[in-house]
Structure 1
Amino acid sequence: MKDKPHFHGHRQRLKERLCKDASAMADYEILELLLGQTLLRRDTKPIAKDLLARFGSLGGVFRAPQSQLEEMDGIGPGVLAFFTLLREFWTRMAEEPVRAGETLSDPEAIRKAAMARIGNLSREEFWIALVNNGNKVIYWSRMSEGTVDKTAVYPREVVALALRHNASGIAVAHNHPGGNPAPSQEDMMITMDIATLCQDMGIRLLDHVIVTVDGFYSFREKGRL
């Protein structure tokens, strides 16, 4: 075909290898094909290799802030929108137990959902899950968002939300953009305030989880609840 891109045959061979044995492909080849979904008429191999060199791994590319991706040659609005779509797709899969209202045998599902949803954000967000008497999730949503190291959390609003939804238990989560999930003194004070109010109102506090990209701190697991 006239004017066919020089890499057309290479991309087709990659697709054939993908269908035959995806596990045998190199990371940059997987990224090549992903980029090729939007960069139809551009050789994506050098872009894929540049991204991996900059961010270290597929996960690093996947979690990279948009501001840093924008600095890379070949990354425009189309690729950024596609990456946002991929992240949201992956996040919603991780959130399925809480989004589908499943029964929680332990707060692990909340931790996984929180890590996927807010673990890689550059600002703090505070999320809450509400459960009924049977530990079935009836609500999962953001309560507040803040700055790189702080978000406003009001224990009375947390408990008031649980009462409005007739919840018998809650689990709360927030992120530490700095990468260290260890609680601050303020985190501990807020957790104790929420726990006290929950006890007064007969509501179970299942856990408070602090998450990062690849780690978490559970007040329940550490024996602080």
Structure 2
Amino acid sequence: MLKQKNQPHYLGHRSRLKQRLQDGPRALADYEILELLLGYANPRRDAKPLAKALLERFGSLRGVYQARQADLMEVEGFGDGLSVFWALWREFLARLGEQDVRERVLVDDPKVVADLARERLGHLTGEEFWVLLVDASNRVLGWECVSKGTVDQTPVYPREVLALALNRQAAGLVMVHNHPSGDPKPSNADVEITRQVKLAAHGLGVKLLDHVIVAGKRFYSFRKASLL
């Protein structure tokens, strides 16, 4: 009994949270869901204060999930161990999203591509350029990273994009990259690389279907903007 009394108070609270989760997960508040996740990453610490602090700082579960590592580390109690856990959590969910897209019969909606890219690129502090490769029926053949850059640019060469398409025998492709600034509006460089790839792809019998830029919750589609 003495050992039971000396246990940290949060262990009993966490046990009750787990039981509530099993009884009906929708009844848990957002901070309680986050608290349980944090508890698995650091079981020897009361996770409730940190869960509430993270939600206060970033506004929502998605805001916490997509927050940049440097910003997360500024919250008291969020250390290196949790940083590793966050990286693992993000990678797991990103792969689930990628699997969903690969299993789709058709990829014909810019929002589908934007949702896929947001899971992979939404939290990054630097730009990354990816290509979604499809067959003649718009079924996914590949989802590949072409290049990584800085906070406001990433070097992209048409030959690298088209080499991926030819290697996978793709009939079409969608170019995708992120804007860490939060503004999805394309830069002059974005417009120019789109023009160059479209021209080069046409000469090889490959169709550039879209160029999607993700920035936070927003995205920009060249196709929807009638620029392709």
**Shorter-chain TM-score: which interval?**
over 0.9
Give 1:136 deviation, angstroms.
2.3
Residue 178 of structure 1 deviates from its aligned partner by 0.3
Tell me by how many angstroms 1:97 deviates: 3.6
* Equivalent in the alignment of 1:176: 179
> Which blocks of at least 5 consecutive residues in structure 1 are unaligned?
none
- Is the Cα–Cα contact under 8 Å of residues 131 and 138 in structure 1 kept in the other structure? yes
Q: Alpha-carbon deviations, 1:59-91, whole Å to 9, x = none?
A: 121111112222222222221111111111111
2:36 is matched with which residue? 33
Partner of 1:198: 201
Is residue 188 of structure 1 aligned with residue 191 of structure 2? yes
- TM norm structure 1: 0.92
Deviation at residue 133 of structure 1 after TM alignment: 2.4
**Deviation string, structure 1 residues 83-105 (Cα, Å, up to 9, x no partner):** 111111111111114445x4324
**Alignment partner of 2:166: what SS?**
helix
CA displacement 1:131-168 (0-9 Å, x = unmatched): 22232222211000100000001112212321232221
Aligned length: 224
User: What SS does the aligned partner of 2:9 have?
Assistant: coil
- Tell me how far apart the structure 2 counterparts of residues 65 and 194 of structure 1 sit (CA, whole Å): 31
Contact 1:107/1:206 (8 A) holds in 2: no
Structure 2 length as normaliser, TM-score? Answer: 0.91
After TM superposition, the structure 1 = structure 2 runs for residues 129-148 of structure 1, keeping only pairs within 5 Å, are: 129-148=132-151
Q: From 106, 109, 112, give the equivalent of 2:108.
A: 106
Match of 2:8 in 1: 5
Question: Closer, same or farther in 2 for the Cα pair 1:42/1:209, shift >3 Å?
Answer: same
Quick one: structure 1 residues 97 and 59, their matched pair in 2 at CA, closer, same or farther if it must change by over 3 Å? closer
Q: Give the whole-Å Cα distance in 1 for the aligned partners of 2:210 and 2:16.
A: 49
1:72 partnered with 2:75: yes
Aligned-pair RMSD on alpha carbons? 1.6
Runs of 4+ with deviation above 3 angstroms:
97-100
Q: Deviations over 1:21-54 (max 9, x none)?
A: 2112111111111111022122111111111122
Indicate conservation of the 8 Å contact 1:69/1:75, yes or no: yes
One-letter amino acid of the counterpart of residue 113, structure 1:
L
Residue identity (%): 51
**For structure 2, which runs of at least 5 residues remain unmatched after alignment?**
none
What's the counterpart of residue 209 of structure 1? 212
